[in-house]
Structure formats: structure tokens, C-alpha cells
């Protein structure tokens, strides 16, 4: 399998202003996710694994995408209500693309789901996955997994994917410190903004190539609140 680790872009004042004004009130991880999803291009028949008609991120995705969802939770109004421990009710090689956001951490055996999604993905198709890493436990209905890039690389390779690209969703160390406990205590939004601004200053002082690169960058990526992965069958 061809594996690519993508160094994330450095935080900037322009990004901070756009994210915090456009996605007001959201967590840092969710703001970084939505920044990414607002630029995502999808083609053909798309499966939204773990989504539904009430998923808030749907408004960020292209209107041209033919999206159908599968979920165990009827409250989010999926197109297909599926069992938590069974295979998906689709034939092999059905979907051109698959999206799966903030879902696999709630599944006891995410590798089994990655395998089944490989089955229903067309040859040459892509799967887009977002999962948390440095993020507090949150049950919906439960929370099982925080996996490293090495674990995901091995899981995708064993499933048979031809390619995997992994992008850390990270702003900086100070911001990650504010993510782990959640938004509690006095002035939580102010503390988050100050942490984000502090990371911008640190990035400007320590990095020159526009990304978190080199050994220092790898160390910061190890504190990522989440991962964005694109696998190709």
C-alpha cells in the first residue's frame, strides 16, 4: 500500500479569523473538520457511514453529490438503518466515494467496518474518514478507540486499500491542551482563542515552510485532536 503522511498547514491569523467567525461556538476539532469539509469534492454515488439527514455537516458538502446515509441511530434520520454488529446491506462495488466522520471511535471493532466499507467501495473509489485522537471520551452510545497513524496504516493495508493519505487535524500544542478537558471553567472560549493565537505566534517563530514539518513538526502532530484520512481502493 502507498502511504502518505501529509504535514498540516501552519495556523495563521487569517485561518483563525475565518474559522472562529464562520464556525462560531464549535470546538477546535469541529472547526478544523468543517474547514476541511467545506473544501471537499465528492463525485458519483456517495455513502455517508454514520450520518443522516440531520447531520450538521451536510450543508458543507457539495449539492451535486448523490449522498445516502447509513446509521444505527434512527434519530438522525439515515436513509438506511443498519445493525451495530452486522455487514452493510449493500452489494460489493456499489459506491464511488464513502464519507465517515466521527463515527469509528464509537464502534468496538473499527477494523471490521473499514473492511466492509472496502467491500462496498468501487475499484478506484475513495473513502474519507475523520476520527478523534487527543480528545475526551464521549459516548454515543459508547466510545472505544483512539488509534495512532501506524494503527490506521496497518488497518487500511490489511483491508486491501491501494493508497492511504493521512492528515493530522492539529492547530498547535497549546490549543490541544484546551481540547482534551472540553470547554469548562471560566471564559472557555476566551481561553481557546488565546491558545490558538499563542500557537500562531509559536508556529511563526519555529517554522519556515508553511507546514508542521521536520522532527519538531512530527512532535506537534503527535498531539493532534484528530486525523483526516483518504483511502483509495
Beta bridge partners of 163: 2, 232
Q: What is the pLDDT of residues 85-132, one digit of tens each?
A: 789 999 999 999 999 999 999 999 999 999 999 999 999 999 999 999
Q: How many independent structural domains does the chain possess?
A: 1
Q: How far apart (Å, rounded) are the C-alpha atoms in residues 40 and 42? A: 7
Q: What is the pLDDT of residues 125-161, one digit of tens each?
A: 999 999 999 998 887 789 999 999 999 999 999 999 9
What order of strands is seen across the sheet that includes strand 163-169? 2-5, 163-169, 226-232, 121-132, 95-101, 45-49, 66-71, 80-81
pLDDT value of residue 111: 96
Beta bridge partners of 46: 67, 97
Q: In which domain, by residue range, is 61 found?
A: 2-232
Which spans in 41-109 are helix H? Answer: none
CATH number of the domain residue 221 falls in: 3.40.50.150
> Is the model's pLDDT at 64 over the cut of 70?
no
Judge if pTM exceeds 0.85. Answer: yes
> Is the model's pLDDT at 183 over the cut of 70?
no
Amino acid at each position: 500500500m502507498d502511504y502518505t503522511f501529509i504535514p498540516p498547514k501552519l495556523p495563521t491569523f487569517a485561518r483563525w479569523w475565518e474559522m472562529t467567525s464562520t464556525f462560531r461556538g464549535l470546538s477546535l476539532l469541529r472547526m478544523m473538520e468543517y474547514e476541511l469539509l467545506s473544501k471537499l469534492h465528492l463525485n458519483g454515488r456517495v455513502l455517508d457511514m454514520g450520518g443522516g439527514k440531520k447531520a450538521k455537516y451536510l450543508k458543507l458538502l457539495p449539492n451535486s453529490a448523490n449522498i445516502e446515509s447509513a446509521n444505527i441511530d434512527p434519530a438522525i434520520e439515515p436513509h438506511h438503518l443498519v445493525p451495530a454488529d452486522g455487514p452493510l446491506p449493500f452489494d460489493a462495488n456499489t459506491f464511488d466515494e464513502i464519507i465517515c466522520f466521527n463515527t469509528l471511535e464509537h464502534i468496538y471493532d473499527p477494523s471490521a467496518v473499514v473492511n466492509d466499507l472496502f467491500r462496498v467501495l468501487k475499484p478506484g473509489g475513495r473513502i474519507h474518514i475523520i476520527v478523534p485522537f487527543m480528545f475526551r471520551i464521549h459516548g454515543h452510545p459508547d466510545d472505544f478507540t483512539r488509534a495512532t497513524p501506524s494503527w490506521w496504516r496497518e488497518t487500511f493495508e490489511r483491508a486491501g486499500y491501494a493508497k492511504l493519505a493521512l492528515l493530522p487535524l492539529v492547530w498547535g500544542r497549546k490549543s490541544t491542551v484546551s481540547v482534551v478537558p472540553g470547554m469548562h471553567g471560566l471564559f472557555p472560549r476566551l481561553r481557546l482563542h488565546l491558545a490558538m493565537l499563542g500557537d500562531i505566534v509559536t508556529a511563526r517563530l519555529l517554522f519556515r515552510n508553511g507546514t508542521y514539518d521536520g522532527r519538531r513538526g512530527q512532535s506537534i502532530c503527535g498531539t493532534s485532536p484528530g486525523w483526516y484520512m483518504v483511502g483509495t481502493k
